[in-house]
Amino acid sequence: MEKYFMGVKSDLYSNFDFEIVDEFLDHYSMMVEAMEIMILDLSKPNMYAQSINELFRVFHNIKSASGYLKIAQMNKLSAFVEDVLEQIRANHSSINEETTNWLLSISDMFGVWKNDLKLDKELTHIKYSLLKLPDLENN
């Protein structure tokens, strides 16, 4: 006999109002879709300031929503990335290739979670390599 498993989306629907969950899923999907473009725009001097601020806002919004919805993994990673972005915003006027690649890997992880949510699976575990900060000083 197959054991019934409740995925993240089912769990959210059983614990929160449908409208709140649907709104989160829609916004999360849009934010994940936009991440890569914002990250790549960081390498364009004329787009840097706008992109770093937008990216910070995206991770702040994901952190807030995932905290409210008690999606611990997503909340912890988005808080971690938000802190790194705050440090970059405060101390740098550009980012290096290592930081760009790290942010693209972060974006990929959130994309995997987007798919996990869509397929109503458990969230894939965070890749430990994402928890190693890039060298922010080496521009």
- Rounded to two decimals, the pTM is 0.91
What are the residue boundaries of the structural domains of the chain, listed by start?
17-131
Distance, in Å, from the CA atom of 109 to the CA atom of 32, rounded to the nearest integer, reads 10
The predicted-structure confidence for 74-110, as pLDDT tens digits, reads as follows: 999 999 999 999 999 998 888 999 999 999 999 999 9
The predicted-structure confidence for 34-82, as pLDDT tens digits, reads as follows: 999 999 999 999 999 999 999 999 999 999 999 999 999 999 999 999 9
Domain 17-131, CATH among 1.20.120.160, 3.90.870.10, 2.40.110.10, 3.40.50.150: 1.20.120.160
